Amino acid sequence: MCGRYALTTPPEVLAALLHLQRMEYDLVPRYNIAPTQMVAVVRADAERRRELVPMRWGLIPFWAKDRTIGARMINARSESAALKPAFRQAMRRRRCLIPASGFYEWKKLGKRKQPYYIRRTDDAPLGFAGLWESWNDPEGGETLESCTILTTDSNDLLRQVHDRMPVILDPDGYDLWLDPDEEDPQRVVRLLAAAPSEVFSVYRVHTRVNSPGNDDASLIEPLPADTQERGSQDSGLPT
């Protein structure tokens, strides 16, 4: 799964890398983005222009009676999203990218859980495969846009921490994934494989990340006893 992540990439760098043509979200460094918060999302409009917009993390299906269901929809399994009532329409017509600098995962160590931070070894931003939906509040009439992050089986490195990981798209696949005219889910599912182990670094971080109220640069710093591990078939994770 993916339950917390960071986005610290400068706006101008992100705009250039993602070929953004419109930005409606004021980016500031975020080190502990949590479910139900507003997050930055990239989507293509009808003219295929890429825009960065704010959405609530936790997809609220268009048929939902209230927004509380979104807290349980922060992730969607890529293997079955095209079949699930909550996600199948979005899988056809409302695909998006959710940019990140890295993400957190927790490993069970006896009776406690140790958080790890996962990022690319070259510090390049990540593009999570996401889905978005528009929901109209039946009581207040408000329209709320929300999103979910697709997940897949973990690669060999991340499997040592958790059995699921976010789908991290190759930049070569962004155009197809965001194409508003491509409504056949079978044409895009090939993009949803786990990213290779060798491009990631994984290391332990402080348990301060457990609280969404903490949001500062110290959260992504390795614990002092750690040596940063680079992805490989024979490298173990620090414990």
**E strand or H helix that includes residue 166:** strand 164-166
**Is residue 96 annotated as a catalytic residue, yes or no?**
no
**DSSP codes of every residue in 116-159:** EEEEETT-PPEEEEEEEEEEE-TTT--EEEEEEEEEEE--TTGG
* Residue whose entry in the numeric block shows the structure tokens 């048929």: 63
Whether 154 and 105 have beta carbons less than 8 Å apart is answered as: no
Q: What is the DSSP string of 196-236?
A: PGGGEEEEE--GGGGSTT--SGGGGSPPTT--PEEP-TTPP
Whether 105 is catalytic is yes
Question: Which among 2, 96, 145, 229 is annotated as catalytic?
Answer: 2
Question: What is the SS3 assignment for 1?
Answer: coil
Nearest to 55 by CA among 47, 65, 46, 67: 67
Among 169, 112, 134, residue whose Cα is nearest residue 61: 134
Set 51, 79, 105, 145: catalytic member: 105
DSSP conformational letter for 84:
S
Separation CA 170–CA 173 (nearest Å): 5
**Residues recognised as catalytic:** 2, 105
